[in-house]
Amino acid sequence: QVQLVESGGGLVQPGGSLRLSCVASRSIGSINVLGWYRQAPGKQREQVAVFFSSITTKYGDSVKGRFTISRDNAKNTVYLQMNNLKPDDTGVYYCYAAHLGIVSWGQGTQVTVSS
Protein backbone atom coordinates (compact mmCIF):
# COMPACT_ATOMS: atom_id res chain seq x y z
CA GLN A 1 0.00 0.00 0.00
CA VAL A 2 1.15 3.54 -0.69
CA GLN A 3 0.64 6.52 1.62
CA LEU A 4 -0.77 9.62 -0.07
CA VAL A 5 -0.71 13.17 1.30
CA GLU A 6 -2.68 15.95 -0.39
CA SER A 7 -2.16 19.68 -0.10
CA GLY A 8 -3.17 22.87 -1.86
CA GLY A 9 -6.83 23.17 -0.99
CA GLY A 10 -8.44 26.35 0.26
CA LEU A 11 -11.03 29.02 -0.30
CA VAL A 12 -11.22 30.60 -3.74
CA GLN A 13 -13.69 32.84 -5.53
CA PRO A 14 -15.64 31.62 -8.55
CA GLY A 15 -13.47 31.83 -11.65
CA GLY A 16 -10.30 31.40 -9.62
CA SER A 17 -7.67 28.68 -9.72
CA LEU A 18 -6.02 26.23 -7.36
CA ARG A 19 -3.39 23.56 -7.75
CA LEU A 20 -3.60 20.46 -5.63
CA SER A 21 -0.61 18.23 -4.96
CA CYS A 22 -0.46 14.62 -3.83
CA VAL A 23 2.83 13.20 -2.63
CA ALA A 24 3.19 9.42 -2.51
CA SER A 25 5.36 7.48 -0.08
CA ARG A 26 7.00 5.51 -2.86
CA SER A 27 7.65 5.61 -6.56
CA ILE A 28 4.52 6.26 -8.62
CA GLY A 29 5.96 5.24 -11.97
CA SER A 30 4.50 1.75 -11.86
CA ILE A 31 1.14 2.51 -10.23
CA ASN A 32 -1.67 1.41 -12.53
CA VAL A 33 -4.28 4.02 -11.60
CA LEU A 34 -3.47 7.33 -9.96
CA GLY A 35 -5.57 10.42 -9.64
CA TRP A 36 -8.21 12.48 -7.93
CA TYR A 37 -11.72 12.03 -6.64
CA ARG A 38 -13.93 14.49 -4.81
CA GLN A 39 -16.89 14.39 -2.49
CA ALA A 40 -19.33 17.23 -2.05
CA PRO A 41 -21.55 17.48 1.05
CA GLY A 42 -24.42 15.02 0.80
CA LYS A 43 -23.13 13.49 -2.44
CA GLN A 44 -21.25 10.38 -3.43
CA ARG A 45 -17.55 10.46 -4.12
CA GLU A 46 -16.94 11.02 -7.83
CA GLN A 47 -13.98 10.65 -10.12
CA VAL A 48 -12.40 13.94 -11.14
CA ALA A 49 -9.28 13.02 -13.11
CA VAL A 50 -7.11 9.94 -13.21
CA PHE A 51 -4.14 8.45 -14.97
CA PHE A 52 -4.59 4.96 -16.39
CA SER A 53 -0.96 3.96 -16.95
CA SER A 54 1.51 6.82 -17.05
CA ILE A 55 0.06 8.75 -19.96
CA THR A 56 -3.61 7.90 -20.46
CA THR A 57 -5.97 10.26 -18.65
CA LYS A 58 -9.69 10.41 -17.99
CA TYR A 59 -11.66 13.39 -16.74
CA GLY A 60 -15.10 13.73 -15.25
CA ASP A 61 -17.54 15.44 -17.60
CA SER A 62 -18.05 18.39 -15.29
CA VAL A 63 -14.35 19.31 -15.19
CA LYS A 64 -13.28 18.71 -18.80
CA GLY A 65 -11.54 21.74 -20.24
CA ARG A 66 -11.04 23.31 -16.79
CA PHE A 67 -8.96 20.81 -14.82
CA THR A 68 -5.65 19.24 -15.79
CA ILE A 69 -3.97 16.28 -14.12
CA SER A 70 -0.21 15.93 -14.34
CA ARG A 71 2.54 14.01 -12.62
CA ASP A 72 6.20 14.28 -11.73
CA ASN A 73 7.51 10.75 -11.25
CA ALA A 74 10.84 12.02 -9.95
CA LYS A 75 9.03 13.73 -7.07
CA ASN A 76 6.45 10.96 -6.57
CA THR A 77 3.79 13.63 -7.00
CA VAL A 78 0.58 13.99 -8.93
CA TYR A 79 -1.04 17.38 -9.44
CA LEU A 80 -4.48 18.71 -10.23
CA GLN A 81 -4.59 22.17 -11.79
CA MET A 82 -8.08 23.57 -11.40
CA ASN A 83 -9.05 26.65 -13.40
CA ASN A 84 -12.30 28.58 -13.74
CA LEU A 85 -13.55 27.10 -10.51
CA LYS A 86 -17.28 27.03 -9.84
CA PRO A 87 -19.26 26.70 -6.59
CA ASP A 88 -20.20 23.16 -7.66
CA ASP A 89 -16.51 22.24 -7.46
CA THR A 90 -16.67 22.64 -3.69
CA GLY A 91 -15.83 19.48 -1.78
CA VAL A 92 -13.10 17.36 -0.29
CA TYR A 93 -10.59 16.25 -2.87
CA TYR A 94 -8.94 12.89 -2.38
CA CYS A 95 -5.86 11.44 -3.99
CA TYR A 96 -6.29 7.82 -5.09
CA ALA A 97 -3.97 5.04 -6.13
CA ALA A 98 -4.72 1.50 -7.22
CA HIS A 99 -2.09 -1.08 -8.03
CA LEU A 100 -2.32 -4.88 -8.18
CA GLY A 101 -5.67 -4.85 -6.43
CA ILE A 102 -4.58 -2.61 -3.56
CA VAL A 103 -6.36 0.72 -3.22
CA SER A 104 -4.99 3.68 -1.28
CA TRP A 105 -6.64 6.99 -0.40
CA GLY A 106 -5.23 10.20 0.97
CA GLN A 107 -6.82 12.05 3.87
CA GLY A 108 -8.35 14.67 1.58
CA THR A 109 -8.02 18.41 1.17
CA GLN A 110 -10.94 20.84 1.30
CA VAL A 111 -11.71 23.05 -1.68
CA THR A 112 -14.33 25.75 -1.21
CA VAL A 113 -15.46 27.93 -4.10
CA SER A 114 -17.46 30.87 -2.85
CA SER A 115 -17.73 34.61 -3.20
Q: What pLDDT, on a 0 to 100 scale, did the predictor assign at position 2? A: 93
Contact 52, 58 (CB under 8 A): yes
Closest CA to 90 of 38, 45, 17: 38
Dist CA 15 CA 10 (whole Å): 14
27-48 average pLDDT score: 94
Could you tell me the pLDDT band of residue 65, with boundaries at 50, 70 and 90? very high
Would you say residue 1 has pLDDT above 90?
A: no
Give residue-wise pLDDT tens across range 66-110: 999 999 999 999 999 999 999 999 999 999 999 888 999 999 999
Rounded CA gap, 7 and 21, in Å?
A: 5
Biggest CA pair distance of the chain: 43
Share of the chain above pLDDT 70, in %: 100
pLDDT exceeds 90 at position 55: no
**Residues 10-27: what's their mean pLDDT?**
97
Q: What is the pLDDT of residue 54?
A: 77
- Given a cut of 80, whether residue 112 has pLDDT beyond it is yes
Averaged pLDDT of the chain = 95
